[in-house]
C-alpha cells in the first residue's frame, strides 16, 4: 500500500527517501514501502504489521479510506478489529511459488482472512496478485492463483460479480496506477485489463444506516493535545454532531463531543459509514476503553451476558459441544465465553430447524446456539461476567455480527439474535436494572 500511496501523491519524496534509508540501515531494505503504514518501532524491527494503520486516497470517483490490517496469525484480534470497520476488501497475495501455497493451504492466513471479512459483512473483494515480476510475469501462474482463489471465494459466500483479480508488482509500481512504463512491457503482452486504481474506483459503497440511532464501537483511545480524550472508530449507525452528549457503554458515564475529525479535517458532524475521531470532554479517560460503544442517552444499546446467535461452523477439526470455552469477538472487543446450549441445527438456505438439541456441531453446519459470557479469570473468588453492548442483527447489521475463536483458530461466525440475560440501563446515571427473561 505504501507504493500505491506514493504513486497517487499521498507520500512525498522526502518521506520516501527517509523510509528507504531507515529500512536499509535496519537491514530490511525490501520493507521500505511498508514503513509508510508500519509506523511503530516494533513493527519496523520485526518487519510485520501488528496494528491497524489508517490512510486515505482518492480515485476519479471515490474517496477511499484504507485500514491496513495485520496478516500475521499472532495479531488476528487486530485484524478482526480492522475488518469490522471495512466496506470492501483488498487482499494482496504473493505470487512466488511456495509463498502463495503457504497462505492458501489449510490453516493458512489467506483462507482465514477471507472467511473473517466475509463473516463481518464484506462482499466486495479485490485480489492483487503481487510479485509477478519474481516469476517472470508468467500468465499461467496468475491464472493458477486466480482459479484456486475464485473457487474458495464462491465457497465462502463472495458473489462472483463482486470479485476482481489484478496482477501487480508493488516494488516496481507496475499496474498500480498505470501499465505503460518500461517495467510493464512483459505484463502488457498478455494483460489488457484494469489497474488496481481502476478497480478501486469501481467499488460500490454499501447502504448506510443513516436513520438508525447513533452507534460507534471504539477501536482506539488516546490523549488529545488540547481537545480532551480522543476516540476513533467507524460509525455503525446514525449521525453525531459537535456538542452532543453521548453515553458510554458498558458503564454509567456520559461525555460531550467537543470536536469531530474525519481524515484529519475538523467537521461539524459525521454519519454512518465514516471512520471518525471524536474528541470527548466531561469524562474521565479511565471510563473509555477499546470495545466500548458510544450512543445517545435516549436510545442506548442493551447490555448482554447471555444471548442466542445463529452461527455457521467453519472447517474445524474438533466439533463444538455444549460447554465449549470460546473467545467471542464483537468489533474491537474480545471476551471469554461459553457455548452454553446447542439449541438447533438449521438449513443453511432457508433457516428451517432440521434438528433440535443436537449433541455436537461439525464443520459446515448452521445452528442456533446460546452463548454465555464468562468472567475474565478462572481462579480466585467467583466473579460475574461483565455485560457487553450488543444489538440484534435485524436492528443493526454492523452491531449484530459476531465471531467465535478457539485455540487461536476462528471456528464460526454468526448473527446475534435475541437477549436471554440482559442489563437494561435507565437513562439516569447510576440506575441499573437486571432483567432475566
Q: What is the pLDDT of residue 383?
A: 65
pLDDT greater than 80 at residue 374: yes
Whole-number Å distance between alpha carbons of 328 and 336: 6
Share above pLDDT 70 across residues of the chain, in percent, rounded to a whole number: 86
- Which of 127-136, 415-424, 428-437 bottoms out in mean pLDDT, i.e. has the lowest? 428-437
Q: Is 69 exposed, middle or buried (0-12, 13-18, 19+ CB in 10 A)?
A: buried
pLDDT greater than 60 at residue 62: yes
Residue 377: which pLDDT band, with cuts at 50, 70 and 90?
low
- Across 78-87, 244-253, 347-356, 427-436, which has the greatest mean pLDDT? 244-253
Tell me the average pLDDT across 255-269.
93
pLDDT digits (tens, 9 = 90+) for 3-46: 777 777 777 778 777 777 777 776 666 666 666 666 566 666 66
Question: Which of 243 and 78 is assigned the larger pLDDT?
Answer: 243
What pTM was estimated for this model as a whole?
A: 0.79
* CA distances from residue 265 to 218, 269, 277, 313 in whole angstroms, order as listed: 19, 11, 10, 42
Contact 326, 404 (CB under 8 A): yes
Contact 149, 111 (CB under 8 A): no
Q: Is 56 exposed, middle or buried (0-12, 13-18, 19+ CB in 10 A)?
A: middle
Whole-number Å distance between alpha carbons of 17 and 147: 38
pLDDT greater than 70 at residue 418: yes
Tell me the average pLDDT across 259-269.
92
- Across 96-105, 219-228, 280-289, which has the greatest mean pLDDT? 280-289
Contact 24, 32 (CB under 8 A): yes
Backbone angles phi, psi at 45, to 5 degrees: -70, -40
Amino acid at each position: 500500500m505504501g507504493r500505491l500511496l506514493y504513486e497517487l501523491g499521498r507520500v512525498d519524496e522526502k518521506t520516501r527517501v527517509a523510509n528507504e534509508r531507515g529500512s536499509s540501515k535496519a537491514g530490511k531494505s525490501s520493507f521500505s514501502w511498508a514503513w509508510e503504514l508500519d509506523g511503530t518501532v516494533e513493527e519496523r524491527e520485526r518487519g510485520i504489521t501488528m496494528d491497524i494503520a489508517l490512510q486515505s486516497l482518492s480515485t476519479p470517483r471515490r474517496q477511499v479510506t484504507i485500514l491496513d490490517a495485520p496478516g500475521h496469525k499472532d495479531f488476528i484480534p487486530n485484524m478482526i478489529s480492522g475488518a469490522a470497520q471495512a466496506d470492501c476488501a483488498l487482499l494482496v497475495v504473493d505470487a512466488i511459488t511456495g509463498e502463495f501455497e503457504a497462505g492458501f493451504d489449510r490453516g493458512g492466513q489467506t483462507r482465514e482472512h477471507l472467511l473473517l471479512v466475509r463473516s463481518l459483512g464484506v462482499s466486495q473483494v479485490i485480489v492483487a496478485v503481487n510479485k509477478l515480476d519474481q516469476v517472470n510475469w508468467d500468465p499461467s501462474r496468475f491464472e493458477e492463483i486466480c482459479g484456486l482463489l475464485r473457487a474458495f471465494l464462491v465457497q465462502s459466500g463472495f458473489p462472483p460479480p463482486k470479485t476482481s483479480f489484478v496482477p501487480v508488482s508493488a516494488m516496481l509500481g507496475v499496474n498500480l496506477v498505470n501499465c505503460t512504463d518500461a517495467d510493464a512491457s512483459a505484463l502488457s503482452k498478455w494483460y489488457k485489463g484494469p489497474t488496481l486504481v481502476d478497480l478501486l474506483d469501481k467499488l460500490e459503497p454499501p447502504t448506510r444506516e443513516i436513520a438508525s440511532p447513533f452507534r460507534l464501537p471504539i477501536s482506539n483511545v488516546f490523549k488529545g493535545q488540547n481537545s480532551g480524550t480522543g476516540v476513533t472508530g467507524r460509525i455503525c449507525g446514525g449521525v453525531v454532531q459537535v456538542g452532543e452528549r453521548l453515553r458510554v457503554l458498558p458503564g454509567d458515564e456520559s461525555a460531550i463531543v467537543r470536536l469531530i475529525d474525519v481524515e484529519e479535517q475538523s467537521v461539524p458532524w459525521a454519519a454512518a459509514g465514516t471512520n471518525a475521531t471524536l474528541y470527548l470532554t466531561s469524562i474521565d479517560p479511565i471510563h473509555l476503553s477499546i470495545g466500548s460503544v458510544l450512543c445517545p442517552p435516549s436510545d442506548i444499546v442493551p447490555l448482554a451476558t447471555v444471548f442466542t446467535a445463529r452461527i455457521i461452523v467453519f472447517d474445524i477439526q474438533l466439533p463444538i459441544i455444549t460447554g465449549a470455552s470460546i473467545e467471542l469477538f464483537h468489533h474491537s472487543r474480545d471476551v471469554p465465553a461459553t457455548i452454553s446450549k446447542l439449541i438447533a441445527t438449521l438449513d443453511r438456505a432457508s433457516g428451517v430447524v432440521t434438528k433440535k438439541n443436537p449433541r455436537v456441531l461439525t464443520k459446515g453446519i448452521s445452528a442456533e446456539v446460546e452463548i454465555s459470557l464468562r468472567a475474565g479469570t478462572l481462579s480466585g473468588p467467583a466473579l460475574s461476567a461483565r455485560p457487553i453492548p450488543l444489538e440484534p442483527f435485524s436492528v443493526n447489521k454492523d452491531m449484530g455480527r459476531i465471531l467465535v475463536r478457539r485455540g487461536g483458530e476462528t471456528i464460526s461466525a454468526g448473527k446475534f439474535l435475541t437477549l436471554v440475560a440482559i442489563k437494561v440501563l435507565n437513562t439516569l446515571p447510576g440506575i441499573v436494572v437486571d432483567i432475566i427473561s
